Amino acid sequence: MDKVIIFDTTMRDGEQAPGATMNKEDKLKMGRQLERLGVDVIEAGFAANSEAETDAIAAVAKAVREPIICSLARTVLNDVDAAWRALQGAKRPRIHVFTSSSDLHLAHMLRKSRQEVLDSAVASIKRAKEYVEDVEFSPQDATRSDVEFLVDLYSACIDAGATTINIPDTVGYAIPEEFGNLIATLITRIPNSSKAIISVHCHNDLGLSTANSLAAVRAGARQIEVCVNGIGERAGNASLEEVVMAIHTRKDFMKVEHSLDTTQIARTSRLFTEITGIDVQVNKAVVGANAFRHESGIHQDGVLKERTTYEIMDPKDIGLSGNIIHMGKTSGRAGFRSHLLQLGYDLSGEEFSKAWDAFKELINKKKYVDDRDLDALVAQEMRTADETFTLEQLHVTCGEPGIPTASVKIRTSTGEEFTESAVGDGPVDAVYKAISKVVALPNHLQEFSVKSITENTEAMGEVTIRIESDGQTYTGRGVSTDIIVASAKAYLNALNRLASVKGEKQAIEAK
């Protein structure tokens, strides 16, 4: 079978979704996980955006060695140069050059003629070829563009050195049959199309991004651009997990294959949620909480007798087991480490020791611990490993009648400890006011949400918050069996993200 190249743009197009901003450390975590997953290409960002973005792409390029690492660039020579500066450390670099091609975009955005667009695209590709062999070209809004112009544009770009040509459905306008026909037409009409890989990039405005991507593959496309959890601009991009599992499950029909380790899909989805705080809807295909749950008695009966009666995918294929860990106070480290490895967590000595201590503390509070608890626990420990401010102690008093009061002790990365207290409208408000006396970075709380990790009354609670400072949004998450503690951890997690931009010194001096 032919192989379909999986091009992940979570760290570029995905980051354009509100609240999905990632810093360098976030991108490194995501890049390493995408490498474990086995994606072929990682679009790590848009280097010309800022020096911080260039630095983040460069860090991913140096740390993630197996996939191709890609940076986006407009058809502007300075953008291409910036992309190369970010990619110099990559083992397999790619520069992805884009412009627009529809008359609508040309008239109202670029204000250029078709010939000017073609000339700038060719010049940018030639500049990129001076740096790298692997160059991709994309014209925005291709599905609303004149086919004759697309043929001329793609042909000229391939002649200039483009090794991949991408056909984007930028605004999610296409219908699968129509999109498949467009791909087939372009492959036939572009005289040198055999010299380049045909790629597609589909948005989900009409809920058709996955269907359009698969229709394109049937028509001859051999690269699909996707995002984890379907995140992206507006309604998002084609979902990595949906595209990959559709190919995986229906090889009989698709007649193509991929090279991903599908057992890493659930973990990749969880990591992205962990980094951004953007939860997956419960009925999301493949990775939603209800994807493998059965409420109907008829369905339950069928699955109990034979799983495939109502499940076309095995949960284990995406890395789900749903196991309950029967471990108690006398359980050993070896068994705990073995189960973490089954979940895909190969922790270092210090990381494992912290996770083990957290697990022992949790097992004293909960009768049973399942994989969802472990995922949350390990994520919490990894999240706080390199944070500037750490919660050492928390004491809260509240009740009716009474004045909610909180006292906190916070340790900095330099070893200093600060203790503060405050009163508030409620216990969480009091905690946040006390923390803000230590980490004195001005911000506005935009969102606060609480959910249960598991179903029982002794479940761990997960708090997600978003704070805003200077027009930027920072997400924080915290997990604990005590929801007040989880709230404190979430706020500190968000403040640590803010401090990574503002600096620890500014936070302490502001105090």
- What is the tens place of the pLDDT at every residue in 249-292? 999 999 999 999 999 999 899 889 888 888 888 899 999 888 88
* Residue 281 forms part of a structural domain: no
Residue 332 has pLDDT above 90, yes or no: no
Number of residues assigned to the chain: 511
* Residue 349 forms part of a structural domain: yes
pLDDT average, residue stretch 119-126? 98
Q: Quick one: 299 and 395 in the same domain? A: no
Using the 3D structure, point to which of 334, 352, 383 is the last residue of a domain.
Answer: 383
State the residue range of the domain holding 348.
321-383
- Angle subtended at Cα 178 by Cα 172 and Cα 179, rounded to the nearest 5 degrees: 55
- What pLDDT digit, counting tens, does each position of 177-224 carry? 999 999 999 999 999 999 999 999 999 999 999 999 999 999 999 999
Tell me the two tokens of residue 414: 């330099």
Q: Quick one: 395 and 378 in the same domain? A: no
48 confidence band (pLDDT: 50, 70, 90): very high
Q: Quick one: 233 and 247 in the same domain? A: yes
User: CATH number, domain at 98?
Assistant: 3.20.20.70
Q: How far apart are CA 413 and CA 349, in angstroms?
A: 20
Rounded (to 5) percent helix, strand, coil in the chain: 45, 20, 30
Q: Quick one: 268 and 210 in the same domain? A: yes
Whole-Å CA distances, 381 to 53, 97, 246, 348:
26, 39, 34, 12
Question: What phi and psi, each to the nearest 5 degrees, are found at residue 198?
Answer: -90, 125
Q: Quick one: 398 and 365 in the same domain? A: no
Of residues 77 and 320, more confidently modeled: 77
* Residue 285 forms part of a structural domain: no
Using the 3D structure, point to which of 276, 308, 340 is the last residue of a domain.
Answer: 276
The number of distinct structural domains making up the chain is 4
What does pTM read for this prediction? Answer: 0.83
* Residue 282 forms part of a structural domain: no
3-state SS class at 266: helix
163 confidence band (pLDDT: 50, 70, 90): very high
Whole-Å CA distances, 79 to 54, 506, 507:
11, 33, 34
Q: Quick one: 65 and 133 in the same domain? A: yes
* Residue 265 forms part of a structural domain: yes
* Residue 284 forms part of a structural domain: no
309 confidence band (pLDDT: 50, 70, 90): confident
11 confidence band (pLDDT: 50, 70, 90): very high
Q: Quick one: 370 and 239 in the same domain? A: no
Average pLDDT taken over every residue of the chain:
90
* Residue 166 forms part of a structural domain: yes
Q: Quick one: 377 and 408 in the same domain? A: no
Q: Quick one: 142 and 63 in the same domain? A: yes
Q: Quick one: 31 and 122 in the same domain? A: yes
* Residue 390 forms part of a structural domain: yes
Q: Quick one: 347 and 421 in the same domain? A: no
pLDDT at 324: 55
3-state SS class at 361: helix
Q: In what order do the strands lie in the sheet with 417-423?
A: 389-397, 405-412, 417-423
Residue pair 103/78 in contact (Cβ under 8 Å)? The answer is no
Question: What phi and psi, each to the nearest 5 degrees, are found at residue 455?
Answer: -90, -20
Tally of CB atoms within 10 A around 104 = 13
Q: Quick one: 240 and 360 in the same domain? A: no
Name 61's Cβ contacts closer than 8 Å, sequence gap at least 6. Answer: 44, 69, 86, 87, 88, 89, 90, 93
The C-alpha torsion from 225 through 228 and 229 to 230, rounded to 10°, is -20
Q: How far apart are CA 483 and CA 394, in angstroms?
A: 12
Residue 326 has pLDDT above 60, yes or no: no
Strands (E), 13-83: 41-45, 68-74
Whole-Å CA distances, 306 to 77, 215, 309, 366, 467:
59, 31, 6, 32, 47
- What pLDDT digit, counting tens, does each position of 334-383 carry? 778 877 776 767 787 778 888 888 888 777 777 667 777 777 777 777 66
Tell me the two tokens of residue 125: 């590709």
